[in-house]
């Protein structure tokens, strides 16, 4: 069974406001296999990927007070933590992060309409991604698995990296059209 974004947002809010461990367990069951999959596709060995999925979820718990459903979906937030874990694992480049905006921490709760709209937008994005032709979707996915995967694709297909990048741009244009 796949949890939908409103469910995930409610679970995350319960973790943030009440340190609800049952809600955290539900989030873990949803995301741990996804984080593991993401890290494996980025080139991480399976056992390490599973261990790192635990790190990512523990970070999610410890940063729960920063969660703002109007700003980013839970999947987006999990992605940024998993991405940063992958960067740490590679031990090559550190990641400078932008300043936080002060209004993000003013403690006011977004209203229901805003939350609904944010969740709806994430749902449409997921649908638009699912509706892409297979090859284009694969290019978008690979872009997020890391640089290694694009050079691998270049090696597998014999296509120059520039061609792969321009095809990726086409895929993104298509997503943009669907979202506007």
User: Does 174 engage in binding with another protein (CB under 8 A)?
Assistant: no
Question: 103: helix, coil or strand?
Answer: helix
User: Does 40 engage in binding with another protein (CB under 8 A)?
Assistant: yes
Question: 50: helix, coil or strand?
Answer: helix
Please report how close the Cβ of residue 71 comes to another protein at its closest, in angstroms.
Answer: 8
User: Does 71 engage in binding with another protein (CB under 8 A)?
Assistant: yes
| CA gap 8, 65 in Å, rounded | 16
Stretch near another protein under the rule CB under 8 A, chosen from 107-115, 144-152, 153-161 = 144-152
| CA gap 108, 9 in Å, rounded | 17
Q: Identify residues 118-137 at the interface with another protein (CB under 8 A).
A: 121-122, 125-126, 129-130
Residue with tokens 């993401």: 38
Joined together, the tokens standing for residue 110 give 């977004």
Helices (H) and strands (E) in the chain, counts: 8, 0
Q: What is the DSSP letter of 65?
A: G
**Footprint on this chain of another protein (rule: CB under 8 A):** 21, 24-25, 28-29, 32-38, 40-41, 46, 49-50, 53-54, 57-59, 61-63, 71-80, 82-84, 86-87, 92-101, 121-122, 125-126, 129-130, 140-141, 143-144, 146-147, 165, 169, 172, 175
């Amino acid at each position: 069974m796949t949890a939908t974004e409103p469910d995930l947002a409610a679970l995350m809010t319960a973790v943030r406001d009440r340190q609800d461990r049952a809600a955290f367990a539900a989030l873990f069951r949803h995301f741990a296999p996804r984080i593991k999959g993401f890290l494996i596709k980025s080139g991480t060995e399976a056992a390490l990927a599973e261990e790192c999925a635990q790190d990512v979820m523990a970070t999610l718990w410890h940063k729960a007070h920063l969660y703002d459903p109007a700003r980013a979906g839970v999947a987006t937030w999990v992605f940024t933590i998993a991405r940063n874990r992958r960067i740490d694992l590679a031990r090559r480049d550190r990641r400078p992060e932008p300043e936080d905006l002060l209004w993000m921490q003013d403690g006011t709760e977004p209203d229901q309409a805003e939350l609904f709209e944010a969740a709806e937008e994430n749902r449409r994005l997921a649908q638009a991604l699912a509706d892409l032709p297979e090859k284009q979707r694969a290019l978008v996915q690979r872009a997020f698995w890391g640089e290694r995967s694009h050079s691998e694709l270049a090696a597998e297909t014999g296509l120059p990296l520039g061609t792969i990048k321009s095809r990726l741009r086409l895929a993104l244009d298509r997503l943009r059209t669907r979202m506007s």
